[in-house]
Structures are given as C-alpha cells and as structure tokens.
Amino acid sequence: MKNASTEHLIVICQTTGDQHAFNELFARHDQALKLFLYHRLGSDNIDDIVQETYVKAFLKIKQFDGKSKFTTWLYRIAFNEFLQLKRKTSIFTRLKERWQSDSERLLSSKDSSSIYIDAQREIERLSSIQQQVFVYAELYEHSHTEISELLKIPLGSVKTYLKQAREQIRVQDDV
C-alpha cells in the first residue's frame, strides 16, 4: 500500500472499504490536515476535529467524485466539522453562562439542580418539533441529515426548526 498513489488508494477505499488503504491514505494527509486546521483555529480542538474528519471521510469516501483534489474535499469536511463544533460550543456556553448566573443570583446555596430546571424550562418553551430537533442536534450531536432520518422530516425543515429554536433561546437569553 505504501507504493500506491493517492488516486489508487481512493479507488481501493471506494470499492472495497479496505481499512489499511484508508489508514495509508490519511496517514499521508495527517500533518497537512493538522497544519490547515492550526492556521485557522490555533491549537484548540484540532485532534477532535481531525478524528471527526477521518470518521466522516471514511463514511463518505464513496461520495468523493474526483472533480476536486482529494485534499480540497478533506479540508472541506474538516472545516465543516470545525463549524459544527463552534456552533455546539457557542450555544451551550451561552446557555450554561445564563443558567449559572441566574442560579447564582437567585440562590444563596449551592443548589445546582436549579441549572437543570432552568435548562428544562428553556427547552420546554419550544414547540414539540423544535424541542426534538434541538435536543438531537445540541445534546446528542446528531447531524442535520441524521435528525431528518430519525424524525422522518425533510432536511430543510430540520434546519429551519433548529434555527428557530436557537433564535428563541437567544431571545429569551436577552430578556
């Protein structure tokens, strides 16, 4: 496998799913991928994003059509993983900060259960479908496509409901 070209390794991965070919393919691109991410993110979460990128690439290797360079395709997956991580982190950071500041302001004791009660209240204010989409996306970290399949609703609807839920929570955060 070490002597095989990148193109040959891609074909092997696409046709047979050979993990040795996949490992060789990504070993060749590991340092470049990490460097690409480092220049965009700094050192935060690079290993997590690289791992998620490899998983997604392995699962979607058959979708690589060769119209672009393999590295372009791989970097696009990595960048999407970075954006997804950033979205997840930002919404949870805002919710956590709000719930913690509210609980500190309202409670003199160290009752952390109030944080969970506040979280539950925020989510309960959403419609049923918004709740489901929000929980699948934010808590269980499912992709939009996975949520669409789980809830048997169109992909566009998943995106709309998730956007609405985030906006509603953001509006409530600002009140």
* 49-103 pLDDT tens trace: 888 899 899 888 999 988 889 989 999 998 888 877 776 666 666 666 655 555 5
Tokens of residue 159, six digits: 């995106």
Domains, the chain, in order of start with CATH, read 6-81 (1.10.1740.10), 87-174 (1.10.10)
Q: The pTM is what? A: 0.52
DSSP, residue by residue, 30-69: HHHHHHHHHHHHTTTTHHHHHHHHHHHHHHHGGG--SSS-
Tally the C-alpha atoms within 13 A of residue 53's C-alpha that lie toward its C-beta.
28
**Which 3 state secondary structure label does DSSP give 154?**
coil
DSSP, residue by residue, 101-125: HHHHHH-SS--THHHHHHHHHHHHT
CB contact at 8 A, 37 and 78:
yes
pLDDT band at 109 (very low <50, low <70, confident <90, very high): very low
Q: Is 120 exposed, middle or buried (0-12, 13-18, 19+ CB in 10 A)?
A: exposed
**For residue 121, which of 174, 157, 173, 163 has the smallest C-alpha distance?**
173
Question: Tens digit of pLDDT for each residue in 136-175?
Answer: 887 777 899 989 998 899 999 999 999 998 888 765 544 4
